[in-house]
Amino acid sequence: MRADASSGTSLLYNLRFRAVLYQVLAVGSIVLVGLYLFSNVSQKLAEQNIATGFGYLSREAGFVISQSLIDYKPTDTYGRAILVGIVNTVWVSVWSVALATLIGLFVGIARLSRNPLLAFLAFLHVEALRNVPLLLYLFLWYALIVTGLPAVREAWEILPHVFLSNSGLTVPSLIWTSAHTIVLLALILGGILGIFVRRRAIAERIRTGQAQVTWPLVALALLLPPVLAALVVQPDLTLSIPEKGRFRLTGGSQLTPEFTALLVGLALSASAGIAEIVRSGILSVHKGQREAARALGLRDGLTMRLVVLPQALRVIIPPLTSSYLSLFKNSSLAIAIGYPDLVMVSNTTMNQTGQAIEGIAIFMLVYLGLSIMISLFMNWYNSRVALKER
């Protein structure tokens, strides 16, 4: 060591010095390339007279967005328009995740069915969806909805007051007011209270060893807040019922063809992956566990719920997380069929303002942020179900 420190030539052979040198070189070259690119960009932007900065977010957008969950009109700002895009992206992702999980769970269990015909159908479902690009399916579902379904004038009434036509699915709906929001919030509060009461009851049972009838208490905790809230704010319960007019359907609320195609496309193709994850999760639980549960006298349903699923979940959750994440990212394909998600709104914004860098930066940051939030949540859930080694 002393020899290394004293002579200059052997400094290169000092491992620690080399480690520092490599890192300085790596960071330095990245900084240099970054500076070079930055100078190019600023020169280009100055030449082409493109403004920089995020000031445009507070300017008037001036374009129409075909569907939005929050109030939006063309006179609103670009910032508001992008918010509409974010909300639309989250909206379609949430519904697709729910639908994909349901279908995936069902198909995954069906693939393990002892009924060979059912297992074969499940196999077909998985392979047909896994081996064809999602984008192709999106185009296909959209084409099927727009060309395969009748025009509004001949809309099919599949259920009373539920119409299916080439401009989407129209269903009766509540006219949403703030009173409804209050009841909904109270319902969520009731849910939390219910879980809390049930937890206390279980803890009590474990402590005393006495089984007590506690479900009325849980039900009370669940229902009291929303009922009270409903009595106080008196929400309007009349439905807006769609009626078939000469050229269009009036009233009710509508699932547009774009939303429906995207929802079906995302949910179906994610369901194939989820089905495989569920299947491998259930297969990973040792047969002896099931037999032991039977020997203890548990019924089939209880065996599944108390013994097989908790152990399968440990295997299922991590890959399920990445499959949710990729569904969320795939929702950006909305732009191909014209559903106004974050990417599509940002794209319109970039075309109008010419500020491509800011536009892309915003939507990349939003995706990155939401992806990180999803994986944090799923990691938290995973740590709860993970094997606790004692």
Partner 1 sequence: MTTATDIAEAQLKMPVQREPNVERRLLHRMLKPLFGTPVNAIVTLACLWILWLGVKGAYGWLVTRAVTEGGAQACKVGHGACWPFYEAKLRFMIFGVYPYDEHWRVALAMILFLGAMGITMIPRFWNRNLLVLWGVTIVTTAILISGGVFGLSYVPTTQWSGLPLSFLLSAVGLAFGFPLGVVLALARSSKLPAIRVIAIVFIEVIRGVPLISILFMASVMLPLFMPSGMTVDKLLRAQIAIIIFAAAYIAEAIRGGLQAIPRGQHEASSAMGLHYWQAMRLVVLPQALKIAIPPLVNISIGFFQDTTLVTIIGLLDFLSTVRTAMTDPNWVGIAALEGYVFAAVVFLVFSYGMGAYSRFLERHMRLGYD
Interface residue list for partner 1 (CB under 8 A): 19, 22-24, 26-27, 30, 37, 40-41, 43-45, 47, 113-118, 120-121, 127-128, 130-136, 139-140, 143-144, 147, 329-330, 332-333, 335-336, 343, 347, 350, 356-357, 360, 363-364, 367-368, 371-372
Minimum distance from residue 29 beta carbon to partner 1 (Å): 10
Q: Which is nearer to partner 1, 120 or 215 (CB)?
A: 120
Minimum distance from residue 64 beta carbon to partner 1 (Å): 21
* The residue type at 341: D
Neighbours of 268 (CB within 10 A): 20
Minimum distance from residue 389 beta carbon to partner 1 (Å): 19
Minimum distance from residue 26 beta carbon to partner 1 (Å): 5
Determine the Cα–Cα distance for residues 185 and 29; give it in Å rounded to an integer. Answer: 53
Q: Which is nearer to partner 1, 147 or 208 (CB)?
A: 147
* C-beta separation of 375 from 325 below 8 A: yes
Minimum distance from residue 23 beta carbon to partner 1 (Å): 4
Beta bridge partners of 243: 250
Q: Which is nearer to partner 1, 83 or 134 (CB)?
A: 134
Question: What are the DSSP calls for 238-283, one per residue?
Answer: -EE--EE-SSSEESSEEE-HHHHHHHHHHHHHHHHHHHHHHHHHHH
Residues 6+ apart with CB under 8 A from 281: 108, 312, 313, 315, 316
Q: Which is nearer to partner 1, 11 or 368 (CB)?
A: 368
Minimum distance from residue 303 beta carbon to partner 1 (Å): 17
Q: Which structure tokens are listed for 332?
A: 């950006």
* 3-state class (DSSP) for residue 131: coil
Minimum distance from residue 205 beta carbon to partner 1 (Å): 34
Neighbours of 110 (CB within 10 A): 20
* C-beta separation of 251 from 82 below 8 A: no
Q: Which is nearer to partner 1, 45 or 241 (CB)?
A: 45
Q: Which is nearer to partner 1, 226 or 355 (CB)?
A: 355
Q: Which is nearer to partner 1, 176 or 377 (CB)?
A: 377
Give the DSSP H/E element, type plus range, for residue 333: none
* The residue type at 16: R
Beta bridge partners of 162: 159
